Chain A
Amino acid sequence: MKVSHYSFIAAGVFLLALPLNGATAAEIRVGYTQDASTLDPANHRSRISEGIIRNMYDGILARDDQMLVWPELAESFEQLDEVTYEVKLREGVLFHDGTEMTAEDVKFTFDRLTKEGAMGGETSPRQSLLGPLEETSIIDAYTLRFKLANAWPVFPRMLPFQEVVSKAFVEKVGTEGLATQVNGNGPFKLVEWRQGDSIIMERFDDYYGGAEGIAPVQAAQVDRVIFKIIPESASRVAALLAGEVDLINELPVHAMARVENNPGTKVLKTLGTRSFFILLNNTQPPFDDVRVRKAANHAVDRQIIIDRILNGLAVPINGILSPQSFGYNPDLPVYSHDPEKARQLLAEAGYPDGVDVVLDAETEFKDLAEAIAASMNSSGFRAKVRLWERNALRAHWDPKKPKEREMYFSSWGSGALDPAGIFMPVLRSDARGNRSGYSNAEVDRLLDGANAEPDQDVRSQMYQDAQVIVNDEAPLIFLWLPQDIYGANSRLQGWMPSGRGIIKLHDAYLE
């Protein structure tokens, strides 16, 4: 009792001696939309959590700002045959407790991710992100092999989503303990997690420096990083303007001007990875007729909506893939805004007097949905918007159930930038995210083939061919791919937003 009392006084004196002014301490504060659901890298499905965790844990592979994949904890990563990949680990990578990371830890990590019931009886929610990964075997202390049950060429693009944990530590604290405690190998150590309030981290001095290919290779540049949870956008912007935080995610478009005009803050943006489109119910009139679907694509004036509502911060797309995606086809025909053509197509389809449709949208997209409906209404459609709570709406558009609704302003994110993560689930017959009921045997054949095709050139061509068919059959109204927008302290350097959607502050500092 006595000891702790004195040590507390000592700590108090010590703390008082530290500069209390945030401006002089080397510290970066992030105003972040949501708290991590867990700090266990294997026990979530949330990019929000991953963004926080990634500051404390590294992965075998990582992506740079340009979305290129590099070895991170690995020294090299090599494909031996269609189903086997070999990793050589860096030597001398330390966990925060000072122990060295070896192949044992990596095998333990991937077994924990992929084996049924490997997390205290439960199965990792991230299991399927590793596809058919069957066995991780140790060759020597720094070499491992991943063996897949069948060829899955997207595997290297999925590895940056996983982080490596310490076997000894997990065995000590258990899956329960790993939810709130961290012994990672990343640039920052956990100091304190104030649930719902903030996550405080400090520099890990013995950090190996991060991916060799992503310069600069060095320990973290600041002493401390704090993720402060501010869910309300207006408050997050206020915190940035007040200088309480140095960086915020999800800066709303309407607040951009304020942040830009405010001395001391700036706006950062990057092309995101979420494609927006309108799902059309391909199983029922009127959208079971391809002419009506094409008419709808000609009806919407995408450019004016992008310019007026999205502040110009989106690129129009003519399919479902991001221009940055693997297998993107840059030569797809464009559905120009053409009300005349739309009316004519509608008349051909048997709707010379126009057609009534209802556009479902989630409440947060009210403005965009109304603009789209207005646009359609000058082109022969009579569209009404109906607003819903997100998950209630999704239940109406359950891919596994018969579809009774008509249009849904929707989107799909694909952080892997590979068609396997977006084209396949949204447009293959009966796929998990195929809410439009679209089904085309040739597209299915191409998607299935590409999913297992080891030759990346052949694979890319298959996706490009499939995009041509989808573009022509227009199962969706193709819309746009928005930029991700961040607000930052003007002095913030060493961090650029990227499509990864992750704020890793390893190289960041304040000028």
Chain B
Amino acid sequence: MQLRTLIERILQLIPVLLGISIIVFAMITLTPGDPVEIMLGDQISTPEQEAALRRDMGLDLPVHERFFRFLSNALVGDFGNSFFHRRPVSDLILERLPATIELTLVAMLIAIGTAVPLGVVAAVKKGTLIDRIATVASIFGVSLPGFWFGLLLIMLFAVHWHILPVAGRIGYDFEVPKVTYLLLIDTILAGRLDSFLDALGHLILPAVTLGLPMGAILMRVTRTSMLEVLDQDYIAFAAAKGLGRMRILIRHALTNALIPTVTVAALETGSLLGGNMIVETIFGWPGLGRLVVEAIFSRNYPIIQTAVLLYAVTYVLLNFAADIVYTLLNPRVKL
């Protein structure tokens, strides 16, 4: 890939982000609800207090001024203060981001790790019992509401069998030195197997809940595209050449069949960011998704604006990453 392409892609981000900022700002302005009222709640207050809060939140300015202020500050990395935490939004987001990244990565690994082999097996053994079981499982995976499935897992593994915890990221009996902020890695770096297992135990249920629908979709995509590829002449030709079955399946069929899987995986990872909001709430997972949900309900504009921008950048970068993976899988594709 050429440097030019990379620069082009990064430049493309600018109109995307600008457009998204405008849309988010418009939506926030049009959504009814007043952060000052929400903050004051039912407690005793005065008009002076209301005015002071409005000023502190910057809501005394007209909309266009607020927008340009947000934009110009954002350009220099200042995303303002959260209305309710009264601290910089960037701090709050950075505190919560690692938990979300860790959860999403593990969910992705689980999804891809189960979906691709299952999809291949289902395709190869098309029409057999294995194929049918895999198909039924994927229908369940797509249609189970994450909310319900997560609670079911909690009831079984935490309340009934007492083998996994309900909520949180790690227990309280050890402090993990922060290096990457991803606990699975940090515990290993610290050489603490017990902490690693504890962190893994906390992570497993939310990650499975989050990864399940993605895995189910990927399984079906892999199966379908694998079936298509297996029908191609070059597969028959490879077999005629006398190549080994495994070699044909993996080298010749799977690499080609994976192209749609990669596209869908990139898109689905974007939707994992949305799924995070539900899963993080059920499992008390201290991630960004929950912060954003709370921000939406409390009309905490600075957090909403910043988080949406962050989601947009992630989405664009994921698609870019998918493009790069294409070129690796299929040398005919050029960026």
Task: Give A residues with C-beta under 8 Å from B.
Answer: 8, 11-12, 15, 18, 20, 31, 34, 37-38, 40, 43-46, 116, 122-123, 125, 127-129, 131, 158, 176, 179-180, 192, 194-198, 200, 224, 226, 228-232, 234-235, 238-239, 241-244, 274, 389-392, 394-396, 398, 412-416, 420-422, 425, 432-433
Contact = CB atoms under 8 A, between A and B. Distances in A.
Contacts of A127: 49, 52
Interface in B70-93: 84-87, 92
A144 B156 CA distance: 58
A414 B84 contact: no
A434 to B, nearest CB: 13
A167 B30 CA distance: 43
Contacts of A415: 43
Given A235-B166, A242-B159, 4 more contacts: A116-B52, A125-B39, A127-B49, A394-B33
Contacts of A194: 169, 286
Contact of A242 (B86, B162, B299): B162
Contact of B44 (A46, A158, A179, A396): A158
Given A125-B49, A228-B284, A8 B42 contact: no
Contacts of B283: 235
B172 interface: yes
A416 B44 contact: yes
B96 interface: yes
Contacts of B162: 242-243
Contacts of A131: 44
B28 to A, nearest CB: 12
B239 interface: no
Nearest to A195: B95
A129 B49 CA distance: 10
- What 3 pairs between A and B have smallest CB-CB spacing? A196-B286, A395-B32, A391-B33
A235 B33 CA distance: 29
A414 B41 CA distance: 10
A425 B37 CA distance: 13
Interface stretch (B2-10, B173-181, B215-223, B267-275): B173-181
A46 B38 CA distance: 10
Contacts of B31: 392
Interface string B17-60: 00000000000000111100111111111101110110010000
A234 B151 contact: yes
A238 B159 contact: yes
B33 A192 contact: no
A31 B167 CA distance: 10
A230 B33 contact: no
Contacts of B40: 45, 125, 432
Given A394-B37, A425-B42, A15 B154 contact: no
A40 B133 CA distance: 55
Interface in B83-114: 84-87, 92, 95-96, 99
B318 interface: no
B282 interface: yes
Nearest to B161: A242
B45 A128 contact: yes
B297 A238 contact: no
A40 B87 CA distance: 11
Contacts, number: 169
A385 to B, nearest CB: 19
Given A12-B192, A127-B49, A235-B167, A38 B87 contact: yes
30 contacts: A8-B190, A12-B190, A12-B192, A15-B173, A37-B85, A38-B86, A40-B86, A45-B41, A46-B41, A127-B49, A128-B43, A128-B44, A179-B85, A179-B87, A192-B175, A197-B168, A200-B172, A229-B286, A230-B166, A231-B290, A232-B281, A232-B282, A234-B151, A235-B151, A235-B284, A238-B151, A242-B162, A244-B165, A244-B167, A432-B40
A224 B42 CA distance: 33
Nearest to B167: A230
A247 B331 CA distance: 59
Contact of B154 (A179, A238, A420): A238
B155 interface: yes
B287 interface: yes
A229 B286 CA distance: 8
A37 B155 CA distance: 30
Contacts of A394: 32-34, 37
Contact of A195 (B96, B172, B173, B294): B96
A232 B284 contact: yes
B158 interface: yes
A97 to B, nearest CB: 21
B46 A231 contact: no
A34 B298 CA distance: 13
B35 to A, nearest CB: 9
B166 A244 contact: yes
Given A15-B173, A127-B52, A230-B166, A196 B87 contact: no
Contacts of A244: 158, 165-167
Contacts of B49: 123, 125, 127-128
A179 B42 contact: no
Contact of B86 (A122, A231, A392): A122
Contacts of A196: 95-96, 99, 286-287, 290-291
A198 B48 contact: no
Count chain A CB atoms within 10 A of each CB in B33, B39, B167, B299 and give the residue with the most: B167
A238 B168 contact: no
A432 B165 contact: no
Nearest to B57: A122
Nearest to B300: A37
A398 to B, nearest CB: 8
A433 B42 contact: yes
